[in-house]
Each structure stands twice: as C-alpha cells, then as structure tokens.
Amino acid sequence: MAAASSLFRFIIIVIFTSLVSSNELLSRKKRYLVFPEGSSLSIAICMTAQTGITPGEIFTEGINWGISYELPNDTKPFKELLDKPKEVMQRRHRRELYTKIETIMRSMGYNGRDCVLRALCEASRLKPKGESLVDEILRIVFRYPEYNIGDEGSQVQYNTPAKKRIKFKEECCELFPGCPFSLIDLALGYYSTFNHFDL
C-alpha cells in the first residue's frame, strides 16, 4: 500500500514539474457559431388600431411588416471581416436593412429611396434618449453617422440626409417630397386615428 502511495505521489510530482517547467503556450482555434443550412431570423412588426366604424368598436385594422434574414452557415466570410472596424460592419448591416425597406416601399407603390432618406433625415431630430422602446429602436436603426469611414463607394448617399437637414435647416418632408408620409411617425403611431380621440 505504501509503495502504491509513493508511486502515485511520484507521478503527481513528475506531472506537476513538467507543467510548471514548460513555457509552451497552449492555444485553441477560435470557435464560431454556425447555423444549419436554410436557417433564418424573422422579425415582424404588427400594428393594430380600432376602426371606429361601429359603436362597440369590435373591428380592427392591422398592418404587418415582416423581414427575414438568412443566418450564416459558413465561417469563412467572417474571418476576413475580423480585420475591419466595427463601424464598417454596422454600416454594412444598416445599408442592407435600408435596401430591404426600399424594396418593400417600392412594392407598395411608393418611392422607396426617398422614404428611407426621409426617415434618416427625421431620425436626426429624435431626442438623444428615446421616450419609449420603439423610439429608442428607431433612433438606433435610422441614426447614420455623419462622417465617412474608409472607401464606402456609392453607399455614401445614406449619410447625407442628416447633413442636409442641419445645413439647410429645412424640414425633411420638403427635402424628400417623393415620400408622402414619415416612416418614423408611422412606426411611432402618429398616423393612427386612435391617438387623436379625446378620452
């Protein structure tokens, strides 16, 4: 029994001294989150308002918008993007979102480009700290930095609305007349007749 105990101590001492004396750094490859093929993230915005056409107001009108993003299933594109600044990546995602909003607005018969540019312009008038969660989300999504980062090519057009509003002191609806309504005001519920009733 004593021999087994001393053999165990000897093995522990050898392992410990080899670990302490070794200056070799152990490393492991970076791990990435990968989703199965065909995975997507869907976001739906649903707005409902009472119609007010009946005394009991049992009928409602609903407007639903949905956006779907494909989730990554390959890590190779991310390795080359790790060298880019965080601001460049955020702008790329915002540009993709703005392009999708433009497509939605165009399919509804509106000038999608003017509606997005008007929303970017109007976001510059939102208060620094949102009054509500929706206000804060809109401020973050439609706040586009006023300075250029590196070589953005033709995508610079998205950072001009706030500059135009500050420079010319005009209203956004006058700067972008191709969009008859405000996406920001629509999302905040200012077009809802329910908000105009005196309770």
pTM of the model: 0.53
CA 196 to chain CA centroid, Å, is 31
Q: Closest by alpha carbon to 125, among 139, 113, 145, 144?
A: 139
Give the model confidence (pLDDT) of 74-120 as tens digits. 766 656 656 666 666 667 777 888 888 899 889 989 988 888 888 88
Least confident window among 85-89, 131-135, 138-142: 85-89
For residues 41 and 67, the answer to whether their CB atoms sit within 8 Å is no
Q: Does the pLDDT at position 177 exceed 80?
A: yes
Q: Closest by alpha carbon to 144, among 163, 156, 159, 134?
A: 159
